[in-house]
Structure 1
Amino acid sequence: MTSDAEGHSRGPYAKSAARRAEIIASATLVFGTHGYRGGSLRQIAKQLDLGLTTVMHHFPTKASLLAAVLEQEDAADTDFSARSERDGFIASVLAIVERNLGRRELVRMFSIVSAEATHPDHEAHAWLLERYRAVTATYTDAIAADRDRGRLRAGDDPRALADLVVSGWEGIQIRWLTDDTDPVAAMRLLLTRLLEPAPPGSHPWPD
């Protein structure tokens, strides 16, 4: 049973966590509309009807808030390798594309901030480089493993295939954000043509 002291101690913590979540959600919208350079802590505070000092109590700098926003994207796919081993690379990628249909503003923010972060002086440049490195490495391993299992037949270098999947995916997301082109259908076609999945009903493991 939870004691009164424990209940009181959890109250302020829960309130602080909820406030941080509100600020991160607002920052996602502001950065997705104005970009990181164009957005400001003052805009985020105004959107939430808060004082600037309240926002800065949780996130002292805009860079620290950007880091918290970007962590949402990183945290979402921590189980990709296990899911890919179980369901296959193509199915696992399509599951994320389908999930992103409900995270439009986060995807928009990610696309805009990523474009800005291509400049070496941008606060998120190091994060973007590391994210491309980590995602490409994960996808390379998953594609190679699926090919060894007989799930995929494409004979090209797995690293080159992983690079194309990442680049194609980002382009498809931008089209979806712009004109509602179906990202699931487009990504399914890209993955099918690029990776050559084994026909349905074929043995998933090579002899």
Structure 2
Amino acid sequence: MSETAPARRGPYAKSAERRLEIIESATAVFSEHGYRGGSLRQIAKQLDLGLTTVMHHFPTKVSLLAAVLEQEDAADADFDDRARRDGLIPTILGTVERNLGRRELVRMFSIVSAEATFPGHEAHDWLRRRYAQVTADYARLIAHDRDAGRIRADGDALTLAGLVITGWEGIQVRWLADATDPVAAMRAMLEKILEPIGSE
């Protein structure tokens, strides 16, 4: 009985694996040392790679940070399903509570978001795409909650979604700066903007 030789992984698969390894290492380094304290050289050393190998995949630290943040977003892939099942307000509050244990990642997102507002910044397009996608997603979830009788806010769903996202990021910055309770602040803001019906 002949055996079929296992298919060889092509260069694309190996490259994707290497990128993932670098992102995972960067997440650990940035979480431990912060964005400014971590370096591409540290990440390369942790993986026993040359700096040029890391920079082949991520030419700058900012491009690597954007990949780390995108990976974190992907880890929350069931957000939409949970929000449709449980409601947007409790789902957002659950994410805020989870973020209490990811302070450095939240700090990194705040840093790259502020820096990437400059049109010439390498992460500018990424930031614009992210805002457009998250705003559209939240608008759909707001409309869903309104149809389900969970909230009474009757404004334009896209406008409400934008307010929620803007408020959330402001609350995160206050938490990072002066330890304002982000869960309590987020709950108060969501109740004001979305006007929940009954107990959330």
State the secondary structure of the residue aligned to 2:76. Answer: coil
Question: How big is the shift at 1:28?
Answer: 5.5
**In the alignment, which residue of structure 2 is the partner of 1:25?**
28
Q: Which amino acid aligns with 2:72?
A: E
Q: Equivalent pairs: percent with the same residue? A: 57
Count of aligned positions: 186
Distance 1:30 1:114, change over 3 A: farther
**In the alignment, which residue of structure 2 is the partner of 1:205?**
none
Distance 1:146 1:119, change over 3 A: same
Contact 2:171 2:185 in 1 (8 A): yes
Q: Residues of 1 paired with 2:122 and 2:55: CA distance?
A: 20
Question: How big is the shift at 1:100?
Answer: 0.6
Give the TM-score normalised by the residue count of structure 2. Answer: 0.79
Distance 1:142 1:111, change over 3 A: same
Contact 2:153 2:195 in 1 (8 A): yes
State the secondary structure of the residue aligned to 1:199. Answer: coil
Q: Residues of 2 paired with 1:21 and 1:49: CA distance?
A: 10
**In the alignment, which residue of structure 2 is the partner of 1:172?**
171
Unaligned runs of 5+ in 2: 1-5, 7-13
Distance 1:59 1:98, change over 3 A: same
Query: For 1:94-133, what aligned pairs fall within 5 Å after superposition?
Result: 94-133=93-132
1:74-118 alpha-carbon deviations (Å, 9 max, x no partner): 213322211111000101111111111111111000000010000
Distance 1:23 1:194, change over 3 A: closer
**In the alignment, which residue of structure 2 is the partner of 1:10?**
none
Unaligned runs of 5+ in 1: 1-5, 7-12, 202-207
Q: Which amino acid aligns with 1:26?
A: V
Give the TM-score normalised by the residue count of structure 1. Answer: 0.76
